[in-house]
Amino acid sequence: MEVKSLRIEQHMLEEAVQQQLSTGTIKILNITSRCISARGFNFLSDLFKVSVKYRVASKNEHSKLERSTDLIIKLEPFKEFAREIVQQQDLFQIELKVLRDVLPKIADLVDHPIGPCLWYSCDNPYVFIMEDLNKQGFVMKCRQKALSFEQCCLVIQTIAKFHAGSVAVHERNPGILESFENGGIVSKKCPQNCFRMMQVSLLRIGDQLKNWTDVESCAKAAPKIIKLAESIGTKCINVYKYDSDEFCVLNHGDCWINNVMFKDTEQGKSVDVRLVDYQMSVYSSPAIDLLYFLNICPEFSVKYDNDDYFLELYLSTLKETMKSIGCKTKPPTMKELKEAIHKRRVYAVFAGVVLYLRMMANKEDIEDFTEVVKNCGGETKMDVFRNPDAVKLAKKMIPVMNERGYFD
């Protein structure tokens, strides 16, 4: 029987449940599902939350128990254009390697899960069946509100443990991680219209900032932003370049609010974290994850005022974890880490200005990615400053970035 809404075969679900939950024989009784892909944010996959009711028969057939479980199923996108992008960049192949070959090893090393458990996978076509982290109490936070100081600390520590674990994996089997050297959000395999979309986004923002006469520091940065638009794509590609002389790790590659899930206490305090969606994972400097996270995820009152603290927390957690799991590689010094970040500073502009100002948009203002890239040639018309909170953030963010030389 084909589960038509999911475009997968029932035997895949049976095999997933069989392997993870039961020693008896599984028979699927009922399947319910709903699509949870968010417009504008999950365009490179189709996600479904699935509830499976099943019967377990013991070997002697005398005992038959009915049970149920919830799963997350991830498929290649149904839309042809998005599917072509996914296949050109091998995004599902990358994520499968992380979920199947890397995360379990890191979880064993650091004695704590980093991401979801993969229950079943196939690659023709790609289908991932994973545990539903919601059932363990993990939830996503509001992308527009962003993350508190305490939540940022939890994520930074988790990123550091993930990075440390990847160092240990690389020491034991270098080939596993070196296969991720060509990953990342921006690559030569991206459609040219994606680069045009990045360029137009900066041009539109720069043109608007020129007229912010009440915020002179933003208006002064506008010409630099407009000039940077010409080369933003090429410079972002260079950010990912693997340098054997640098300290390198497996980066998550897309560590922003919608790819982080938190478990909270009854009092609302976040106490645990899981990272999801590893399509953009790339083996390179940890500066990639740090720049991306710090320029997107902290809430307004936290952003840019605590970067040094977060880097100290990252480095101390990285060193402690590397030592505890027996890494032979020498961790970077703070000087080396900051040099790697400065070398890739344009990525802060990509993350904070090009991406996050769009991410803050209200639902009714979000553009359809396929429409913009495929049908409009990347000529985005989105006014990121329709959201007053985006204006407020830009007035803080642009002067800081300009002072740090991010636009140079």
Pick the last residue of a domain from 104, 129, 154.
129
- For the beta carbon of residue 183, count every other beta carbon within 10 angstroms: 26
* 143 and 76 housed in the same domain: no
Residue numbers in the chain where pLDDT is lower than 50: 1-4
Cβ-count burial of 408 within 10 angstroms (0-12 exposed, 13-18 middle, 19+ buried)?
exposed
Pick the last residue of a domain from 129, 164, 184.
129
* 107 and 178 housed in the same domain: no
The alpha carbon torsion through 372, 251, 140, 80 (nearest 10 deg) reads 30
Number of compact structural domains in the chain: 2
- For residue 4, the model assigns a pLDDT of 43
- For residue 64, the model assigns a pLDDT of 76
- For residue 153, the model assigns a pLDDT of 98
| 3-class secondary-structure state, position 285 | coil
- For residue 43, the model assigns a pLDDT of 79
- For residue 57, the model assigns a pLDDT of 79
Pick the last residue of a domain from 107, 129, 151.
129
- For residue 369, the model assigns a pLDDT of 81
Q: Which residues pair with 73 in a beta bridge?
A: 48, 129
* 259 and 365 housed in the same domain: yes
- For residue 176, the model assigns a pLDDT of 92
Cα separation, 31 vs 54, whole angstroms: 9
Amino acid identity of 190? C
pLDDT > 70 fraction of the chain, expressed in percent and rounded: 96
Structural domain span for residue 370: 137-404
Cα separation, 20 vs 102, whole angstroms: 19
Place of tokens 């993990």: 138
* 64 and 156 housed in the same domain: no
